[in-house]
Structure 1
Amino acid sequence: MNVARQLKSMAFDWVDRVVPVKPVVRPPALQTALDRESRRMHLYFSRNCPASIQVRRHCLRLGLRVVEKDVERVDAYRNELVNGGGAPRVPCLRIDGEQDSQWLYSPDAILDYLDQRY
């Protein structure tokens, strides 16, 4: 990893830890329904990836409570990512449907999906 990318990821991580995210305020009944629905989404991320931090903060901003899985800290999450999605890339959003799961790898695709859906 080059030095510029390391510095950028360290800066994003620091901002993520220090600057709070203000979520969208919704009526309690709607927020409860969104909480239930967002629990079917799993975000595989890394604290050293600026795109992962951006997607994670966007989820918080939308008031979604997705299941967050740090692939660098827990090897089982990395194995889930490789076995289920086919590639060890982050960020990745797994959306569990009625019969199958959808895996989104591109940060732009993840953000577009979240903006259109919520």
Structure 2
Amino acid sequence: MLSGVTERLSLYYSETCWYCARVRQTSAELGISLELRDIDRDPKCRAELVAGGGKSQVPCLKIESGNGDINWMYESADIAAFLTSKFKSE
């Protein structure tokens, strides 16, 4: 997976959300694969998002580090900036 940076990145999204599409485009441009969790098609994903992140807003990037810490990042611009800072090749 993404060893050295994070153990796992999961993107909670909706197919109808323009902001989600922007994050997915950024990840594609950077050549990284995110675990995609569609909150409209899978009620379990929506429940996980609300339980962990505190709200059902998408996009949301769940960042699970190797030491077990979990962070929930909302806002497409923040997510895109995070991905770019971690994965953009020089």
Shorter-chain TM-score category?
0.7 to 0.9
* Partner of residue 49 from structure 1, selected from 4, 7, 17: 17
Letter in 2 for 1:51: Y
TM-score (norm 2): 0.87
- What does 1:34-45 correspond to in 2, within 5 Å? 36-37=1-2, 40-45=8-13
**Corresponding residue SS for 1:89:** coil
Structure of larger gyration radius: 1
Partners of 2:7 and 2:64 within 8 A in 1? no
CA deviations over 1:41-98 (Å, ceiling 9, x no partner): 0000001110001101111111111100110000000000000000100000001012
Name which structure has the greater RCO, CA cutoff 8 Å, separation 6+: 2
Note the residue ranges of structure 2 that are not aligned, 5 or more in a row.
none
Note the residue ranges of structure 1 that are not aligned, 5 or more in a row.
1-35
The ranges of structure 1 where at least 4 consecutive aligned residues each deviate by more than 4 angstroms after the TM superposition are none
Q: Which residue of 2 aligns with 1:85?
A: 53
CA deviations over 1:11-55 (Å, ceiling 9, x no partner): xxxxxxxxxxxxxxxxxxxxxxxxx11760000000111000110
2:79 pairs with 1:110: yes
Return the alpha-carbon distance in structure 1 between the equivalents of residues 47 and 40 of structure 2: 11
Return the alpha-carbon distance in structure 2 between the equivalents of residues 52 and 99 of structure 1: 26
> What is the RMSD of the two structures over their aligned residues, measured on CA atoms?
1.2
User: Of Structure 1 and Structure 2, which has the larger fraction of its residues in strand?
Assistant: 2
The total of aligned residue pairs comes to: 83
TM-score (norm 1): 0.67
User: Of Structure 1 and Structure 2, which has the larger fraction of its residues in helix?
Assistant: 1
Partners of 1:39 and 1:66 within 8 A in 2? no
Share of identical aligned residues, percent?
A: 34
